[in-house]
Chains A and B, each alone.
Chain A
Amino acid sequence: MSPILRLLIHRLALSLLVLAGVSILIFFVARVVPGDPARIALGPNAGAEAVEALREERHLNDPLIVQYGWFLRDLAGGDLGTSLYTRRPVLQDIAAYLPATLELVFIAGLMMVLVGLPLGRLAARHQRRGPDHLARFLSVLAVCTPAFVWGVILQLLLAYVWPIFPLEGRLSTGVAPPPDITGLYTVDALLTGQFGTMLNALYHLILPATALALSGIGQSARLTRSSMIETYRKPYIEMARAYGFKEGRIARRYAFRPALIPTLTVLGLDFAAMLANAFLVERVFVWPGLSRYGVEVILRKDLDAIVGVVLVIAAMFLITNLVVDLIVSIINPRLRLAEKRGK
């Protein structure tokens, strides 16, 4: 077996183990807390028999470990339970709300890579001079400002004071959503050739995605800077200078590429942080994503739905990290070479 494949299988197994752990953790936290879920679901006016019937139906009278068994069995069948708030299967609810969140997070992730990495590179090239101080200050500022603060500030400046961007929502009123293929409006509109709708959706994405991306941009710029500075100390950079290569080329070809590997790993973490911060940004921009659902079910103590949302987010987090591992192992020449030698 090739080393890359073995590494990935190892990582996959570990991720599944962690996901199982997450399910145990969240399941037991949900069950151990005070308050009878059936009573909460039915409200204070429900009769004792109705509460008892629901307890029986949801297996709430069984011992915890048996309840977890039921939970796992349902989970294996893709059943996350029924939301007490929407009265629909939790999975169906999540499938309806998730695409809007994913679209936001993908665009923000794209911004993070396309702005953060070049900014870090610029700072590293001009270490301890003007652009470096500026980039560092900006990235610290970006890192330590919560996404909702960016949201509120951007909204005030670019939607109210200078109304360049739309205030909220995914599309302008009067624009029909594209047919539901992936749930991502931009992609669906593109697939069905509705370019007007696509631009409209993109236009609505810019402000919330920026608010969401800013802290990731700061973090990735910071990291790119520090790992590039480390690479700059390596002898082969000295050699490239001795050959008389231009600084720009040294930065691009020799210092930036190795610096990409540690940065990528952290980008995976940042991407996951965005999934959480999306909750805050969605609230500011009235974005109909997973967070609206998540906060709603949390306020209503809708246990199955809360467990479902947390599990889905944890699963996406683990998937992201697996994908990052895959990319890193593909671009890291050391692993590639090890593979060739293995043959």
Chain B
Amino acid sequence: MSSKTSSVALTEFRSNPLSIIGLVLVALCVGLAVFADLVAPYPAHVGPIGDFMAINQAPSAAHWFGTDTIGRDVLTRILYGFRLSLVMAAMVLAISMPIGVALGLMAGYLGGWVEFAIMRLTDVFLAIPPLVLAMAIMGFLPATLTNAMLAVTAMWWPWYTRLVYNVVRSEAREGYVLAAEVIGASPLHVMTREILPNCAPAILTKLTLDVGFVVLMVSSLSFLGLGVQPPTPDLGSMVADGAKYMPDAWWLSIFPALAIMVLVLGFNLLGDGLREAFDAEV
């Protein structure tokens, strides 16, 4: 657990060049995603219709990252792909994190059969590689964007449960928890008001890292054809579609591939920086 004050953590964060690179990359990607409508050179190319006069063009001044087989600007689609990836990551984490944290708090603090049931369930989920479980769930559901998100959400919460569980186990015997219990605080109060704030650095760090990993997972699903469907611009399916035209139209898959790399790298470096600054065990 963090024993540092927040100003020490901030100074430490600032002194690490990699964290700053991460912060810049994240700001860049989020900014491009938010302002995609303003920044994208050809916003009309988001849908299924491109410019038929300019198909399969190599990168040029007019199309920095080239155009695809139906004349859509690759850069534009990457920018909207950023937006979609980030929105999906935010929604997956907004659902799975609170569930995972609540279960982790209960398992760690209440103990007994609650702990046994929750932690064994967590083990079961963690015993299947996430991508395989998400793929299997997609196997039972129609391949749509919402279902892909549901599939990823369904396998994401156990990581938060395990994380919070471990933190709670080490915090539960601390003086401030005992003090709260002695003055008659309810278990709910102890869990949410006393212990939870001390889990915050670990949760925040994991959230930052996870934005990258959820993007990775969703784009992997789409790459396999099990996630986002055309014409919605998605980085993973762009790589998969473009790979069919290698090596002649290399820009079709290489640029979206690099875009995934930059996006995930940014959140990873930022998360790593936070981890070191907070001394969080994630």
Q: Footprint of B on A, CB under 8 Å?
A: 14, 17-19, 21-22, 24-26, 29-30, 33, 35, 133, 136-137, 140-141, 143-146, 148-149, 152-153, 155-156, 160-161, 272-273, 275-277, 279-280, 283-284, 294-295, 297-299, 301, 303, 306-307, 309-310, 313-314, 317-318
A318: B residues at CB distance < 8 A: 127
Stretch at the interface among B36-44, B60-68, B216-224: B216-224
Distance of A307 Cα from B137 Cα, bound (Å): 10
CB within 8 A of A310: which of B18, B133, B239, B253? Answer: B133
Distance of A328 Cα from B219 Cα, bound (Å): 35
CB within 8 A of B261: which of A145, A276, A280? Answer: A145
Chain B, residue nearest A32 (CB) = B140
Please tell me if the beta carbons of A136 and B18 are within 8 angstroms of each other in the complex: yes
A14-B123, A276-B131 are known; give 12 further A-B pairs, CB within 8 A: A21-B127, A141-B261, A144-B216, A145-B260, A145-B264, A152-B246, A152-B253, A155-B246, A273-B129, A280-B223, A303-B139, A306-B139
What 3 pairs between A and B have smallest CB-CB spacing? A276-B129, A21-B124, A160-B247
Asked if B178 CB lies within 8 Å of chain A CBs, one says no
Stretch at the interface among B51-59, B88-96, B192-200, B265-273: B265-273
Please tell me if the beta carbons of A297 and B261 are within 8 angstroms of each other in the complex: no
Chain A, residue nearest B213 (CB) = A144
Please tell me if the beta carbons of A279 and B132 are within 8 angstroms of each other in the complex: yes
CB within 8 A of A18: which of B18, B127, B131, B140? Answer: B127
Asked if B226 CB lies within 8 Å of chain A CBs, one says yes
- State the Cβ distance, A265 to closest chain B Cβ, in Å: 14
Please tell me if the beta carbons of A153 and B257 are within 8 angstroms of each other in the complex: yes
Please tell me if the beta carbons of A143 and B268 are within 8 angstroms of each other in the complex: yes
- State the Cβ distance, A88 to closest chain B Cβ, in Å: 18
CB within 8 A of A140: which of B138, B216, B268? Answer: B268
CB within 8 A of A29: which of B137, B223, B247, B260? Answer: B137
A14: B residues at CB distance < 8 A: 123
Chain B, residue nearest A150 (CB) = B257
**Would A298 and B136 be within 8 Å (CB), given that A140-B269, A279-B224, A280-B223 are in contact?**
yes
Please tell me if the beta carbons of B128 and A144 are within 8 angstroms of each other in the complex: no
Chain B, residue nearest A137 (CB) = B18
Distance of A328 Cα from B247 Cα, bound (Å): 45
Asked if B87 CB lies within 8 Å of chain A CBs, one says no
Distance of A149 Cα from B127 Cα, bound (Å): 25
Distance of A303 Cα from B140 Cα, bound (Å): 8
Distance of A342 Cα from B67 Cα, bound (Å): 71
Please tell me if the beta carbons of B129 and A272 are within 8 angstroms of each other in the complex: yes
Asked if B254 CB lies within 8 Å of chain A CBs, one says yes
Please tell me if the beta carbons of A33 and B141 are within 8 angstroms of each other in the complex: yes
Distance of A169 Cα from B5 Cα, bound (Å): 56
Asked if B212 CB lies within 8 Å of chain A CBs, one says yes
Distance of A9 Cα from B144 Cα, bound (Å): 43
Please tell me if the beta carbons of A295 and B220 are within 8 angstroms of each other in the complex: no
- State the Cβ distance, A90 to closest chain B Cβ, in Å: 13
Please tell me if the beta carbons of B269 and A148 are within 8 angstroms of each other in the complex: no
Distance of A131 Cα from B131 Cα, bound (Å): 33
- State the Cβ distance, A40 to closest chain B Cβ, in Å: 10
Chain A, residue nearest B137 (CB) = A29
Distance of A33 Cα from B247 Cα, bound (Å): 41
Interface core residue of B120, B131, B136 (most chain A CB under 10 Å): B136
Asked if B71 CB lies within 8 Å of chain A CBs, one says no
A273: B residues at CB distance < 8 A: 129
Asked if B8 CB lies within 8 Å of chain A CBs, one says no
B272: A residues at CB distance < 8 A: 140
Distance of A133 Cα from B138 Cα, bound (Å): 40
- State the Cβ distance, B209 to closest chain A Cβ, in Å: 9
Asked if B179 CB lies within 8 Å of chain A CBs, one says no
- State the Cβ distance, A313 to closest chain B Cβ, in Å: 5
Chain B, residue nearest A140 (CB) = B268
Please tell me if the beta carbons of B268 and A146 are within 8 angstroms of each other in the complex: no
B239: A residues at CB distance < 8 A: 148-149, 152
Please tell me if the beta carbons of B224 and A283 are within 8 angstroms of each other in the complex: yes
A137: B residues at CB distance < 8 A: 18
Please tell me if the beta carbons of A140 and B135 are within 8 angstroms of each other in the complex: no
Chain B, residue nearest A26 (CB) = B136
Distance of A337 Cα from B265 Cα, bound (Å): 43
A283: B residues at CB distance < 8 A: 223-224, 240
Interface string of B235-247 (1 = CB under 8 A from A): 0100110010011
Please tell me if the beta carbons of B127 and A314 are within 8 angstroms of each other in the complex: yes
**Would A298 and B124 be within 8 Å (CB), given that A140-B269, A146-B216, A156-B247 are in contact?**
no
Please tell me if the beta carbons of A29 and B140 are within 8 angstroms of each other in the complex: yes
Distance of A297 Cα from B123 Cα, bound (Å): 26
Please tell me if the beta carbons of B212 and A144 are within 8 angstroms of each other in the complex: yes
Chain B, residue nearest A321 (CB) = B127
Asked if B50 CB lies within 8 Å of chain A CBs, one says no
Please tell me if the beta carbons of A149 and B124 are within 8 angstroms of each other in the complex: no
Please tell me if the beta carbons of B224 and A161 are within 8 angstroms of each other in the complex: no
Please tell me if the beta carbons of B123 and A298 are within 8 angstroms of each other in the complex: no
Distance of A191 Cα from B34 Cα, bound (Å): 59
Distance of A143 Cα from B267 Cα, bound (Å): 12
Distance of A30 Cα from B137 Cα, bound (Å): 8
- State the Cβ distance, B271 to closest chain A Cβ, in Å: 10
B137: A residues at CB distance < 8 A: 29
A-B contact pairs, 22 of them (CB 8 A): A144-B264, A148-B239, A149-B239, A149-B258, A152-B239, A152-B246, A152-B257, A156-B254, A273-B129, A276-B129, A276-B130, A276-B131, A279-B131, A298-B135, A298-B138, A298-B226, A301-B139, A303-B139, A303-B140, A309-B132, A310-B128, A310-B132
